[in-house]
Amino acid sequence: MSADSLITPLSPAKNLTGWTVIVDASAYTDEINSKTPNSFHLVGGVPSVGKIVKTVREMGCASVACLIPVGFQREYEELLSGHAIERSSEFISDLIPETIAKYQVMVVRGDMPLITKDTILKLAGQHQLMQSAVTLLTVFGQSRGSQIEVSRRNGVINSIVHPNNSVGSRGLKEVVSGVFAVRSDMLTDLSSEPNKNLDMIELIHHLASSCTRAESSIDAYQITEAGETDTIDDRETLATLEQRLRDRIRRWHMANGVTLRDPNSIHIDDDVVIGPDTVIHPNVTIRSGSRIGAFCNVESNTVIDDSQIGDSVTIISSVLTQARVEANCSIGPFSHLRPNCYLAKGVSVGTNVEIKESRIGENSKIGHFAYLGNVTIGVDVNIGAGAVVANYDGSIKHESSIGDRAFIGSNSVLVAPIEIGADAATAAGAIVTKDVEQGTLVMGVPARKSHSHPGKEISD
């Protein structure tokens, strides 16, 4: 760090355009007592490494690579590709292709889920401003045995102290977080075999030594919020980071117009989107991938998992999994929308209803204690209480359809595959095993045609 940097105002980078980011997910500690590497544990509903990648992607970095623990390459290859990581390796030398020379490189720890965009951009900005060979992200705190200490003279870095060489002095020290920016040409010699198995501590020392030999500058950006650099080391730190991240998520949503009736009891995952003037009541869980519109009311004991909810929807004590619900619908209490359910505008789902892989048309009403499986329902349909679409014959799940304005009486059983025509009706308790023509009323066990549906005008 040059003396000039002491008086040069910090200029955060606007984005990470022109940067390659290497996410260091190689940390694997015995204290966590898990077969899962530290960076792959869920924090705020997503793997910590996935959260880091999402953060740097949103800042426009050119590419993302991942350094993973030895022995885990194949096991986590699919997960990494699912988080938009172009390449991964157990060795950092394999992540430095010749084409990287035109980019600046930043290394970010994958087990550091609380690090913010602001901090990353400030580190990138200082690295560009000072044109340093290496810029370390440091924090002033209690040095642990595995951390590198920074030694300064008159504010200028004159050495970094390897943990093995630390004298164990008491008090707070400036320590290296494990996040740093580096000029790409400083990494070109990492392809040599002696450097192939460098861990991050050894790599930082290697870069510092290279700066000394080449008379290049080494700089540091010291952050004020030490908690951002806390890492997943064991189950206790994992739980602490989870709690702090969820507090941050809740504050963010409240600042954007969402009412949380009892914030501490509400769990919202990191990538959830909620519109303004929506009210979330106590003991609600909203999991990763979910989107909730404006002016919604989500009552207590609801679980929403990877679902899309439109505006002005009311959900009472129900479970939605990979469902899509349009505006002005009402669901529950105690109902369950299983994967691949679609509710069009104005649909009403009553108490203890289960719907599976079905599409419900606009303004249709589904009464209480009903089960609908693999069925397409038209507009303005009424499904009576206790009705069942029996989609499974013991080996195959069959598709069914119910036409517009049909009326399915209470406790009717529709044995799939079956088609109920528009404006048709089934009487209460009917067991329907054959298709029903439009405008027809069927009743009985098994159901038989009675007469045209009284009071119904069949549309063209």
Q: Is 335 exposed, middle or buried (0-12, 13-18, 19+ CB in 10 A)?
A: buried
Residue type, 248: R
Q: Are 302 and 316 in contact (CB under 8 A)?
A: yes
- Report pLDDT for 458: 46
Helix (H, G, I), strand (E, B) or coil at 417: coil
Answering whether pTM is above 0.75, one says yes
- Report pLDDT for 420: 96
- Report pLDDT for 280: 98
End-to-end Cα separation, the chain, in angstroms: 81
Catalytic residue among 206, 368, 398, 451: 368
- Report pLDDT for 8: 43
- Between strands 104-109 and 285-286, the pairing is unpaired
- Report pLDDT for 449: 83
Q: How far apart are CA 48 and CA 41, in angstroms?
A: 6
- Between strands 365-366 and 348-349, the pairing is parallel
Sign of CA dihedral 157, 163, 168, 173: positive
Q: How far is CA 202 from CA 161, 177, 321, in A?
A: 11, 14, 46
- Report pLDDT for 456: 56
Q: Are 407 and 364 in contact (CB under 8 A)?
A: no
Structure tokens at 3: 């003396």
- Report pLDDT for 1: 41
Q: How far apart are CA 245 and CA 112, in angstroms?
A: 11
Residue 198 CB-half CA count within 13 A: 22
Q: How far apart are CA 256 and CA 278, in angstroms?
A: 10
Q: Let me know if 368 is a catalytic residue.
A: yes
Give ∠ CA 323-327-331 in degrees, rounded to 5. Answer: 60
Q: How far is CA 306 from CA 274, 320, 344, in A?
A: 13, 8, 18
Helix (H, G, I), strand (E, B) or coil at 393: coil
pLDDT per position in the chain (460 positions), as tens? 444 444 344 678 999 998 999 999 988 888 999 999 999 999 999 999 999 999 999 999 888 999 888 888 778 877 887 888 888 888 887 887 655 556 789 999 999 999 999 999 999 999 988 888 889 998 887 656 567 777 776 667 766 776 555 555 556 778 888 899 998 878 776 655 455 566 777 787 778 777 765 556 888 888 887 789 999 999 999 999 999 999 999 999 999 999 999 999 999 999 999 999 999 999 999 999 999 999 999 999 999 999 999 999 999 999 999 999 999 999 999 999 999 999 999 999 999 999 999 999 999 999 899 999 999 999 999 999 999 999 988 899 999 999 999 999 999 999 999 999 999 999 999 999 999 999 999 998 887 887 665 555 544 4
- Report pLDDT for 95: 80
- Report pLDDT for 51: 93
- Report pLDDT for 460: 40
Structure tokens at 207: 């870069």
Domains and CATH numbers, the chain: 3-229 (3.90.550.10), 235-452 (2.160.10.10)
